[in-house]
Amino acid sequence: MTRKTERSLQELYGQDPERADAVVFGRRTGVDRRGFLNGAGLAAMGAAVGGSIPFAGNMPAGLIPSALAQTAPAAAPAAAPAGPKHLEFPGKDKGLVVLGDRPLVAETPEHLLDDDTTPTGKFFIRNNGQIPEQAAQPDAWKFVVDGEVNTKLELTLGDLKQRFAHKTYRMVLECGGNGRSFFTPPGRGNQWTNGGAGCAEWTGVALADVLKAAGVKPSAKYTGHYGADPHLSGDATKETLSRGVPMDKAMEPHGLIAWAMNGQPLPHIHGGPVRLMIPGWPGSTSSKWLTRIWVRDREHDGQGMLGASYRLAIVPMVPGSKGDDKNFRVMESMPVRSIVTNPANGTRLAAGTREIALRGAAWAGDLTVQRVDLSIDYGATWSSASLAATKNRYDWNRWTARVKLPSDGYFELWVRATDSQGRMQPHVAGNWNPQGYGGNPMHRVAVLVG
């Protein structure tokens, strides 16, 4: 006789969210899903999250509680391992989560981004190819600036340090795929949550100063960036990645050719001895192990600039569809995002706790953060956080807040940011695209009191 295996609510939400919704909210698949938790469903949900749910009446139908969503994401394949694989790499925090081994990719859980300046050891890793051989003499590292310029420049890192004014800025670097795991169905690639971002202090020279020294011609329209990282296949004729930016972005004063991170020589894993730092745009434009800046008279067409790669849909797509290459545009400024960095998701507080101090970070690509709001009742009401001043443009906004709790039980702390153009983080990732770019839904953190 075949024995039927019962699935827990957590497993059910991870494998079949519609069925879980029907069990908890008392509806059949395809039936109106606007209602609230019924009695049996509330008991099942409370048992799954470990306590009573004071604001259960506000919980949207179909919502996967954060306590369950981050341990059994709907996007995870059936054969996914039970827990995350943590990074083992010299000089890096062991809390980083490995998303890919070849190339090496690791994200930083939100609670490890609690520093005003992200320590190098906690900074995410994103490679596209093999890690190149480390330079024996960093100051002898060479790169070239050529193309639509009056004077081709061949510079060593030592030349760069001697010829141009040094700049140091604290700026966010963010992977273009940050938030990819929040799409349904999931986009192709590493399933980032919010951890493909960090805010370090970068030291170098302004990219604009170097371009001016080369003498940019009136015909120049775009840059193309190249690094020393070999293709994963080992084929030297294949590009690993080559992105670029329009000239007005390249000439911004905060774009850097950087050789230091947090006051120390740029680590090899982060592109040392020299890399580009193009703030506000996908991190793929900030080429690591820099070897060439090609100034072009047209939009760059290197690896990562065509098809759906680092490109967003112009006309909204049907989720899961292939799409037409003509319906994509290059991804430029990153979307507004905010995270709770303390408390961590899954925090348990003592019985009787009636107030929680929160803190976190918010940033908005080329724009600025206008406000950050918080909710503890599934978005029924919101309160404002206090924003700290930034050190310079492209720095993230650290924010703080205090929220009062009415009782013991299970709570979700929701945070959303609004940018300087009034765009607010959505409840769910929108504008689906095959590669999963631009997913920036509100961050949710589960806490259990008592």
CA distances from 107 to 84, 94, 178, 191, 433 (A): 11, 11, 9, 10, 21
What the block records as the tokens of 305 is 């600039």
Write b or e for each residue in 196-226: b if 16 or more Cβ atoms lie within 10 A of its Cβ, otherwise e. Answer: bbbbbbbbbbbbbbbbebbebeeebbbbbbb
Looking at the structure, tell me whether residues 199 and 322 fall in a common domain.
yes
Query: Which of 69-83, 126-140, 391-405 shows the lowest per-residue confidence on average (mean pLDDT)?
Result: 69-83
User: Is residue 98 a part of any domain in this protein?
Assistant: no
Last residue of some domain: 330, 358, 389?
330
Looking at the structure, tell me whether residues 57 and 125 fall in a common domain.
no
Looking at the structure, tell me whether residues 36 and 127 fall in a common domain.
no
Largest Cα–Cα distance of the chain, in whole Å? 81
Looking at the structure, tell me whether residues 267 and 160 fall in a common domain.
yes
Q: How many residues does the chain have?
A: 450
Whether the per-residue pLDDT at 394 is higher than 90: the answer is: yes
pLDDT at 79: 47
Last residue of some domain: 283, 311, 330?
330
Whether the per-residue pLDDT at 32 is higher than 60: the answer is: no
Q: Taking residues 182-191, what's their average pLDDT?
A: 94
Whether the per-residue pLDDT at 74 is higher than 90: the answer is: no
- CATH code for position 348: 2.60.40.650
Looking at the structure, tell me whether residues 387 and 285 fall in a common domain.
no
User: Is residue 139 a part of any domain in this protein?
Assistant: yes
pLDDT at 40: 74
User: Is residue 271 a part of any domain in this protein?
Assistant: yes
The three-class DSSP label of residue 294 is strand
Predicted confidence (pLDDT) per residue in 284-302, tens digit: 999 999 999 999 999 999 9
Number of Cβ within a 10 Å radius of residue 287: 31
What the block records as the tokens of 197 is 């971002």
Task: Work out the pLDDT band at 75, boundaries 50, 70, 90.
Answer: very low
Looking at the structure, tell me whether residues 314 and 342 fall in a common domain.
no
Q: State the pTM of this model.
A: 0.92
pLDDT at 309: 95
Looking at the structure, tell me whether residues 300 and 341 fall in a common domain.
no
User: Is residue 90 a part of any domain in this protein?
Assistant: no
Predicted confidence (pLDDT) per residue in 220-231, tens digit: 999 999 999 999
Looking at the structure, tell me whether residues 134 and 276 fall in a common domain.
yes
User: Is residue 89 a part of any domain in this protein?
Assistant: no
- CATH code for position 274: 3.90.420.10
Looking at the structure, tell me whether residues 273 and 398 fall in a common domain.
no
Closest of 351, 138, 102, 336 to residue 240, by C-alpha: 102
Looking at the structure, tell me whether residues 283 and 174 fall in a common domain.
yes
List the domain range (segments joined by +) for residue 358.
337-449
Predicted confidence (pLDDT) per residue in 414-431, tens digit: 999 999 999 999 999 999
Whether the per-residue pLDDT at 76 is higher than 50: the answer is: no
User: Which single residue is written with the structure tokens 């009034």?
Assistant: 422
Looking at the structure, tell me whether residues 118 and 171 fall in a common domain.
yes
Number of Cβ within a 10 Å radius of residue 337: 28
Query: Which of 4-8, 216-220, 434-438 shows the lowest per-residue confidence on average (mean pLDDT)?
Result: 4-8
Whether the per-residue pLDDT at 80 is higher than 60: the answer is: no
Predicted confidence (pLDDT) per residue in 356-368, tens digit: 999 999 999 999 9
Task: Work out the pLDDT band at 105, boundaries 50, 70, 90.
Answer: very high
Calculate what percentage of the chain has a pLDDT beyond 70.
89
Query: Which of 4-13, 118-127, 168-177, 239-248 shows the lowest per-residue confidence on average (mean pLDDT)?
Result: 4-13
Q: How many domains does the chain fold into? A: 3
Whether the per-residue pLDDT at 355 is higher than 50: the answer is: yes
User: Is residue 95 a part of any domain in this protein?
Assistant: no
Query: Which of 72-81, 274-283, 425-434 shows the lowest per-residue confidence on average (mean pLDDT)?
Result: 72-81
Looking at the structure, tell me whether residues 174 and 306 fall in a common domain.
yes
Last residue of some domain: 42, 69, 96?
69
User: Is residue 200 a part of any domain in this protein?
Assistant: yes
User: Is residue 4 a part of any domain in this protein?
Assistant: no
Query: Who wins on pLDDT, 33 or 345?
Result: 345
Q: Taking residues 389-396, what's their average pLDDT?
A: 98
